[in-house]
Chains A and B, each alone.
Chain A
Amino acid sequence: MVQVFPYAVGDAMSQTPIYTEYHPRWYRRRTSTYWWLRRPSYLVFILRELSSLFVAWFVVFTLLQIHALKEGPDGYQRFLDWSKSPLVLIGNSIALFFVVFHAFTWFQLAPQAMVVRLRGKRVGAAWIAGANYAAWALASVLVAWIVLRE
C-alpha cells in the first residue's frame, strides 16, 4: 500500500509529495500462537477443546466395531485381537482420559447453562451438577449391564 505524506501543511501543494511503501501501523498487540501455555487455566481450556479429537476417535472405533460384528464371529475376533494391540490400548487409554475430562467439565458447566426453578427458588449449582453426575453414573451402569448381562 502506498501512502502520501505532504511535507508541511503550509506549502503542501507546492512541493512534491513523498511516497513511502509502508502503511502506517496502528498499535495492535499480536497474541502469540502459544497463548494457551501461559496459564494453567488456559491449558485446561485447550485440553478440554482437544477432547473433540478423542470423541471423533471413539466414533471411528465404534464404527469399526459395528463393521466387525457384521462380518461374523471371525471378523469380530480379528477386531478383538486388534483392540488388544498395545498401540490401540494406549490410544484408548488416552481417549478415555480426555472423554472423562470432557464429561467433568461439561457437568461442571451445566449449572451455568441450566436455570432450574423449584417452587419459585433457583435450584443451587451443586444440586444441578450433582443431578448430572447421578445421570452419568446411572447411564454408565445401564450400558455396562446391557453389554455384560447374558
Chain B
Amino acid sequence: MAKKSMEPFLWTLFSAGGVLAALLIPIHLFLFGLALPLGWLPQPSYEHLFALLRHPVTQVYLFLLCTLALFHAAHRFRYTLYDGLQIKHLNEVINVLCYGGAIVGSVLTIYLLWQVP
C-alpha cells in the first residue's frame, strides 16, 4: 500500500499526466495511428522523423509525455479496479502492478531515448 503521504505526490503526477494526455495524445494517435498508416496525409520521410527524434527538445517532450502519461494511467487504473471491482483485499498487489508498471515503462522510455544515436 502506498503511504498516505505519497497520495498528494501521486495525484500531482496523475493530474500533470492527465493534462498532457488530453492535450497531446489525441493528435499523436490520430497522426501515427490512423492518418499516416491509412495514407490520409503525406507520409513524412524517415530522415525528417529521425532528425526530430534526435532533437533534445523532442527528447524532453517525449520523456515527459510518456512518463507522466504512464503515471496518470497507473493512478486512474488503480482507482478503476478499486471502485469498479471492489477488490480491496488485493490493494497491495494492484498498487505494485500499477505504479510498478509505470516505473518500468518510465525506465524503458529513458533507456530508449538515451540510446538514440
Contacts and interface: CB of A to CB of B under 8 A. Distances in A.
Contacts of B26: 96, 99-100, 103, 136, 140
B108 interface: yes
A34 B73 CA distance: 22
A69 B83 contact: no
B30 to A, nearest CB: 6
A132 to B, nearest CB: 8
Contact of B86 (A33, A61, A83): A33
B58 to A, nearest CB: 9
Contact of B34 (A80, A96, A99, A106): A96
B73 to A, nearest CB: 4
B25 A99 contact: yes
A144 interface: yes
A107 to B, nearest CB: 6
B115 interface: yes
A112 B86 CA distance: 27
A67 B116 CA distance: 9
A52 B44 contact: no
B21 A102 contact: yes
Interface string A123-150: 0000000000001100110011011101
B8 interface: no
Most B CB contacts (10 A, CB to CB) among A70, A95, A100 go to: A70
Interface of B: 17-19, 21-34, 36-38, 41-46, 48-50, 52-53, 62, 65-66, 69-70, 72-77, 79-80, 83-86, 101, 105, 108-109, 112-113, 115-117
What are the nearest 4 A-B pairs in CB distance? A92-B33, A52-B76, A103-B22, A140-B27
